[in-house]
Amino acid sequence: MDIFSVNPANGKAIDHYRSHTNKEVKLNIEQTHAAWLKWKESSFTARSYYLINMAKVLLSQKNELARLMALEMGKPIKQGIAEVEKCASVCEYYAKNAAGFLKDQSVKTEASKSFVTFEPIGVVLAIMPWNFPLWQVFRFLAPALAAGNCGILKHASNVPGCAIAIQEIVEQSGFPENVFQTILVNSAKIDKIIENPLIKAVTITGSTNAGKKVAAKAGSLIKKTVLELGGSDAYVILEDADLDKAAEICVNSRLINSGQSCIAAKRFIVVKSVEKEFIKLFYEKMNAKIMGDPLNEATDIGPQARVDLRNELHNQVKRSIKKGAKCILGGELPKGNNAYYPPTILTKVKKGMPAYDEELFGPVAAIISARDERDAIRIANDSIFGLGAAVFTTDKIKGELIASTQIEAGSCFVNAMVKSDPRLPFGGIKESGYGRELGMFGIHEFVNIKTVWVE
Query: Considering 228, 358, 431, 437, which one is annotated as catalytic?
Result: 228
DSSP H or E stretch at residue 55 = helix 44-60
Are residues 91 and 142 in contact, defined by beta-carbon separation less than 8 angstroms?
Answer: yes
Quote the distance between the C-alpha of residue 259 and its chain's center: 13
Number of C-beta neighbours around residue 242 at 10 A: 14
Mapping DSSP to helix (H, G, I), strand (E, B) and coil, where does residue 415 land? coil
Cβ atoms of 126 and 140 within 8 Å: the answer is yes
User: Considering 262, 275, 373, 412, which one is annotated as catalytic?
Assistant: 262
Is the Cβ–Cβ distance between 243 and 237 less than 8 Å?
yes
> At 383, which amino acid appears?
S
Sign of the alpha-carbon torsion through 57, 303, 132, 23? negative
Angle ∠(47,51,55) on CA atoms, nearest 5:
170
| CA-based R_g, the chain, Å | 22
Contacts of 209 (CB under 8 A, 6+ apart): none
Q: In terms of DSSP bridges, do strands 265-271 and 364-370 run parallel, antiparallel, or are they unpaired?
A: parallel
Residue 450 φ then ψ, to 5°: -105, 135
Q: HSE on the CB side for 265, CA within 13 Å? A: 30
CA distance 409 to 194: 29
User: Is residue 228 annotated as a catalytic residue, yes or no?
Assistant: yes
Catalytic residue annotation: 228, 262
